[in-house]
Chain A
Amino acid sequence: MIENADIVLTDWSRAQFALTAMYHWIFVPLTLGLSFIIAIMETIFVRTGNGEWKRMTKFWMTLFGINFAIGVATGIILEFEFGTNWSNYSWFVGDIFGAPLAIEGILAFFLESTFIAVMFFGWNKVSRKFHLASSWLVALGANLSALWILVANAWMQNPVGMAFNPDTARNEMTNFWAVLFNPVAVDKFLHTISSGFLLASLFVLGISSWFLLKKREEWLAKRSMLIAGIFGLFSSLLVIFTGDTSARTLAEVQPVKFAAFEAHYNGKRNAGLVALGFLKNSEKESGAPEEKDFAFRIEIPGLLSLMTGGSREAFVPGINDLVYGLPDSSILAVAEKMKRGKVAMNLLNQYKEAKRQNDLVKAETIRNTFQEKNFVNDYFRYFGYAFLDKPEDVVPNVPVAFYTFHLMVMLGFLFILIICIALYLLWKGTITKNRWFLRAALFSIPLAYIASESGWVLAEMGRQPWIIQDLMPVSAAVSQISPGAVMTTFILFAVLFTALLIAEISIMIRQIKTGPKSQEAQL
């Protein structure tokens, strides 16, 4: 069904989106968390009137500004890329997907961009309280922006609150609140911002550790660490809680992704959670293509069943069950879903033909069918399956899903350990003596970025082949432009973003080495 040129086009379009999204995501989590940390520091300054707190606020604010600028630069392309590279998608679901993006602009971006100007240029122009309010509003704006874009993303993972309109050949929103309070959206928002808070806490902790290693700015570094530690501790608890709820929700709405990140091929009761493992190619002849087996694993018995079904006896379907079906557990085979999807697609074609022939009676009958609940639940919900070539196409890249998930989780627990140790050493007053820990905290900064990017790789690679779960595969969503054009823009983005990233890191390191300005220099 899909021509070779289309596959190349789809791959380049995906590569471009992945490249731009991953670059953008290098900068966003720090913005989400550091904005709050700065606002907390400034609040203490306003309450105590101690100029050292202002110095501290301004130092972290300088780093925030450098990071923020490149976040904006890499972000603008993402909004427009839905149009430039995924135009079929943009029409098919623009009625629902466009709204959160527009709301993001109206409610969040203006808040951020207006008050960031006050934050940077208002120190000597507005009152302390107005300035402080501006800093909090920037933090609020940044996180509100995350809310709306994650609502949009969650809708792609779990499309809700809409109905298909055969006249316009698109899905249309029928319930705004269902879109906003989509369970995936709630989990995703909380998990994403709390992981951003955690990353920012580790960033502040790590850089403060560097100052202590260099025996500079001890007062400022220790207090920065204390704030980052407390903020990070609360954030990490939220990360664990929302990570757990996210996984439970995924088990329901994206079971193949869920099974993939556990490399869980064959369903069973009392299924264990793999804490650590390495995959190898399976020697089995049947089953999903390129089936993987474990070369090594440490498993917590029964935990997967317990987490998803509430008891050890709960059945957790595996990839093979989800692809080939399991009538006992009412799991439809993908082959059957493909048949049903094709029924829906053929009906849409018949509708178009009836309209062309001016057969109004037939058109009306079909139109009504598209609104029937049974038809929607039994056939239209599998519309995207009509585009697939074979049932195995629904299986994402299992090793990518497995390793990114486990890397993210393991690093997450390591970060909690680092934060707890930091708080303990600060409490004991021995943090400057424990240089091993200061080094470990510094080296945890890149690890936080790796964990954060892994989360998104898992979320997006794990849902392949879908751009909208069950409704549209990526191959059907892509804009019809030449693969060469997309390849060219991919290279342009790669070169430009890499150059900007190098400049950003270089500026950031120089600013850190220079350190906070003296109080006199700031006046």
Chain B
Amino acid sequence: MTTMISYLFLQSYWWVIVSLLGSLLVFLMFVQGGQSMIFSLPGSEMHKTMLVNALGRKWEFTFTTLVTFGGAFFAAFPLFYATSFGGAYWVWIAILFSFIVQAIAYEFRSKPANVLGKKTFDIFLLINGALGPFLIGTAVGTFFTGSQFSLNDMNNVQWANGWHGLEALLNGRNIALGLAVLFLARVNGLLYIINSVDDPDLTARSVKKLIINSVSFLVFFLFFLFTLLLSEGYAADKETGQVVMEKYKYLHNLIQMPAVLILFLAGVLVVLYGIGITISRNSRKGIWFAGAGTVLAVFSLFMVAGFNGTSFYPSSYDLPSSLTIYKASSSQFTLKTMMYVSFIIPFVVAYIWYAWKSINRKRITADEMKEEGHVY
């Protein structure tokens, strides 16, 4: 029995870690949010240079978090990794393409003899900025709305349609979550630029854009939230693991896990507070509140998706194939080994924080862009 408890603990522990990485990823997608406004926000070429350089010094954090998020899913929940990536092929390939073109765009855009031209690399940044958050949000939407797959005896995935994941784009709720994540990334992107670029004109333009993006975020987010709470959900029996449809499942999860409810509400309020102080008080600290709120809110959504007897990767085509954290997880030994590895994460966070502070000590100015040896 102790073995079972320990295994259950490890499975839950890893769901928490993966959720934390997922929520940090959504926060760090402020880089993508900022990129999505590369043509619409700047009022001059210098504005664009400052915007790109402010984001360009952080893009690798987002990228690395995405890669680690994928790696952690592979190590801790390999059945999800195999099922979702191998099944919803086109969605993941589209996401990956958008990140591939991002990775070279910063370094290459302003280098002489870059063959494709600055504009092409800026379009790459726009593609990644718009598609990355939208598609990741849409893909996470299927955690609640389900996908069309089945698993055979060897736990190998068969996708039930030829769209291989693109059908997720036909579901209004998935799209609403995708757009909510995109507009949240844009909000955070604007707040980050306000924080790290010292240019009154660019700040004024960012504040102006912040209002419309915040409203758009709220519209799509609330639509997703209300339809989610009122919908049927995929409930998994805690003893047998059997998955059945349950009315108001996700609403029940929030009520039955009051700590998660509090985290969720706190997260949403802190995001709104961050936006509020930027608009009303011209504060530059909005990003820290909105960022922390984003992490809390997304983290609690992951809790709702995976805990309290819920299938986090349900199959709407074949209910018994639906994945719970228990069914999809690695062995006890691997989870335990990886838990020891995860103890290093606070140390990693600490040095990231230290390096971040060192680089961001001075805000980006037009003068620096003219003088700095390494400018994107």
Q: Which residues of A are interface residues toward B (Cβ below 8 A)? A: 58, 62, 65-66, 68-70, 72-74, 76-77, 79-80, 82-88, 90-92, 94-99, 101-107, 109-118, 120-126, 130, 134, 165, 168-170, 172-174, 176, 352, 479-482, 485, 489, 492, 496, 499-500, 502-504, 506-507, 509-511, 514, 517, 521-522
Q: What's the Cα separation between A522 and B85 when bound, in Å?
A: 46
B97 within 8 A of A: yes
* Interfacial chain B residues near A101, Cβ < 8 Å: 71, 74-75
Q: What's the Cα separation between A110 and B361 when bound, in Å?
A: 20
Closest chain-B Cβ to A168's Cβ sits at a distance in Å of: 7
* Interfacial chain B residues near A82, Cβ < 8 Å: 74, 81, 85
A-contact 0/1 string along B325-354, CB 8 Å cutoff: 000001101100110011011001001100
Contact check, A123 vs B373: say whether CB atoms are below 8 A apart.
Answer: yes
Q: What's the Cα separation between A105 and B24 when bound, in Å?
A: 14
Q: Can you list 27 contacts pairing A with B, beta carbon distance less than 8 Å?
A: A66-B108, A68-B107, A73-B100, A74-B100, A83-B81, A84-B86, A90-B81, A99-B334, A101-B71, A102-B72, A102-B74, A103-B75, A105-B70, A113-B60, A114-B355, A115-B355, A117-B58, A165-B331, A499-B115, A503-B108, A503-B114, A506-B115, A507-B112, A507-B113, A511-B112, A517-B373, A522-B373
B111 within 8 A of A: yes
Q: What's the Cα separation between A500 and B102 when bound, in Å?
A: 12
Contact check, A482 vs B92: say whether CB atoms are below 8 A apart.
Answer: no
Considering the complex, give the chain A residue whose CB is closest to the CB of B375: A121
* Interfacial chain A residues near B87, Cβ < 8 Å: 87, 479
Contact check, B374 vs A118: say whether CB atoms are below 8 A apart.
Answer: no
* Interfacial chain A residues near B76, Cβ < 8 Å: 98, 102
Q: What's the Cα separation between A82 and B331 when bound, in Å?
A: 19
Q: What's the Cα separation between A117 and B351 when bound, in Å?
A: 12
Closest chain-B Cβ to A349's Cβ sits at a distance in Å of: 8
Closest chain-A Cβ to B84's Cβ sits at a distance in Å of: 7
Q: Given contacts A83-B74, A102-B338, A511-B111, are A480 and B156 in contact (CB under 8 A)?
A: yes
Contact check, B156 vs A99: say whether CB atoms are below 8 A apart.
Answer: no
Q: Given contacts A91-B155, A94-B81, A485-B89, are A66 and B111 in contact (CB under 8 A)?
A: yes
Interface hub of A84, A496, A499 (most chain B Cβ within 10 A): A84
Residue from A77, A112, A481 in contact with B86 in the complex, judged by beta carbons closer than 8 Å:
A481
Closest chain-B Cβ to A63's Cβ sits at a distance in Å of: 11
Closest chain-A Cβ to B245's Cβ sits at a distance in Å of: 25
B183 within 8 A of A: no
Residue from B63, B113, B153 in contact with A169 in the complex, judged by beta carbons closer than 8 Å:
B153
Closest chain-B Cβ to A115's Cβ sits at a distance in Å of: 6
* Interfacial chain A residues near B103, Cβ < 8 Å: 69-70, 72-73, 76
Residue from A62, A80, A110, A126 in contact with B64 in the complex, judged by beta carbons closer than 8 Å:
A110
Contact check, A496 vs B358: say whether CB atoms are below 8 A apart.
Answer: no
Give the contact stretch, choosing among B35-43, B157-165, B255-263.
B157-165
Considering the complex, give the chain B residue whose CB is closest to the CB of A127: B358
B1 within 8 A of A: no
Q: Given contacts A77-B96, A102-B71, A102-B341, are A90 and B82 in contact (CB under 8 A)?
A: yes
B217 within 8 A of A: no
Q: What's the Cα separation between A522 and B342 when bound, in Å?
A: 41
The binding surface of chain A is classed by DSSP as helix
B93 within 8 A of A: yes
Contact check, B358 vs A130: say whether CB atoms are below 8 A apart.
Answer: yes
Q: What's the Cα separation between A111 and B106 when bound, in Å?
A: 20
* Interfacial chain A residues near B154, Cβ < 8 Å: 88, 91-92, 169
The binding surface of chain B is classed by DSSP as helix
Closest chain-B Cβ to A165's Cβ sits at a distance in Å of: 7
Contact check, B342 vs A106: say whether CB atoms are below 8 A apart.
Answer: yes
Q: What's the Cα separation between A517 and B373 when bound, in Å?
A: 9
Closest chain-A Cβ to B357's Cβ sits at a distance in Å of: 10
* Interfacial chain B residues near A496, Cβ < 8 Å: 97, 100-101
Contact check, B96 vs A80: say whether CB atoms are below 8 A apart.
Answer: yes
Contact check, B96 vs A88: say whether CB atoms are below 8 A apart.
Answer: no
Residue from B67, B72, B153, B156 in contact with A87 in the complex, judged by beta carbons closer than 8 Å:
B156
* Interfacial chain A residues near B93, Cβ < 8 Å: 84, 489
Considering the complex, give the chain B residue whose CB is closest to the CB of A58: B373
Contact check, B78 vs A95: say whether CB atoms are below 8 A apart.
Answer: yes
Q: Given contacts A82-B74, A109-B64, A174-B333, are A69 and B341 in contact (CB under 8 A)?
A: no
Q: What's the Cα separation between A58 and B372 when bound, in Å?
A: 13
Which 6 pairs show the lowest CB-CB distances between chains A and B?
Answer: A87-B86, A94-B78, A83-B85, A105-B68, A73-B103, A98-B75
Q: Given contacts A114-B61, A115-B355, are A485 and B82 in contact (CB under 8 A)?
A: no
B5 within 8 A of A: no
Q: Given contacts A76-B63, A118-B358, A496-B97, are A510 and B113 in contact (CB under 8 A)?
A: yes
Interface hub of A121, A122, A502, A506 (most chain B Cβ within 10 A): A121
7 extra interchain contacts, Cβ-Cβ under 8 A, other than A90-B74, A480-B158, A496-B100?
A73-B101, A76-B100, A84-B92, A87-B156, A106-B71, A125-B359, A489-B93
Q: What's the Cα separation between A111 and B68 when bound, in Å?
A: 12
Contact check, A91 vs B78: say whether CB atoms are below 8 A apart.
Answer: yes
Q: What's the Cα separation between A101 and B70 when bound, in Å?
A: 9
* Interfacial chain B residues near A116, Cβ < 8 Å: 60
* Interfacial chain A residues near B99, Cβ < 8 Å: 76
Residue from B61, B84, B158, B358 in contact with A83 in the complex, judged by beta carbons closer than 8 Å:
B84
Contact check, B85 vs A485: say whether CB atoms are below 8 A apart.
Answer: no
Considering the complex, give the chain A residue whose CB is closest to the CB of B332: A172
* Interfacial chain B residues near A65, Cβ < 8 Å: 107, 374
Contact check, A173 vs B331: say whether CB atoms are below 8 A apart.
Answer: yes
Contact check, A480 vs B348: say whether CB atoms are below 8 A apart.
Answer: no
Interface hub of A109, A123, A511 (most chain B Cβ within 10 A): A109
Closest chain-B Cβ to A304's Cβ sits at a distance in Å of: 39
* Interfacial chain B residues near A72, Cβ < 8 Å: 60, 63, 103
Q: What's the Cα separation between A102 and B67 when bound, in Å?
A: 8
Q: What's the Cα separation between A124 and B345 when bound, in Å?
A: 29
Contact check, B155 vs A168: say whether CB atoms are below 8 A apart.
Answer: yes
Q: What's the Cα separation between A389 and B267 when bound, in Å?
A: 58
* Interfacial chain A residues near B155, Cβ < 8 Å: 91, 168-170
* Interfacial chain A residues near B330, Cβ < 8 Å: 94-95, 98-99, 172-173
Considering the complex, give the chain B residue whose CB is closest to the CB of A74: B100
* Interfacial chain B residues near A169, Cβ < 8 Å: 153-155
* Interfacial chain A residues near B60, Cβ < 8 Å: 72, 113-114, 116-117
Contact check, B331 vs A506: say whether CB atoms are below 8 A apart.
Answer: no
Closest chain-B Cβ to A423's Cβ sits at a distance in Å of: 32
Interface residues of B in 40-65 (CB under 8 A from A): 57-58, 60-61, 63-64
Considering the complex, give the chain A residue whose CB is closest to the CB of B360: A125
Closest chain-B Cβ to A89's Cβ sits at a distance in Å of: 8
Contact check, A80 vs B92: say whether CB atoms are below 8 A apart.
Answer: yes
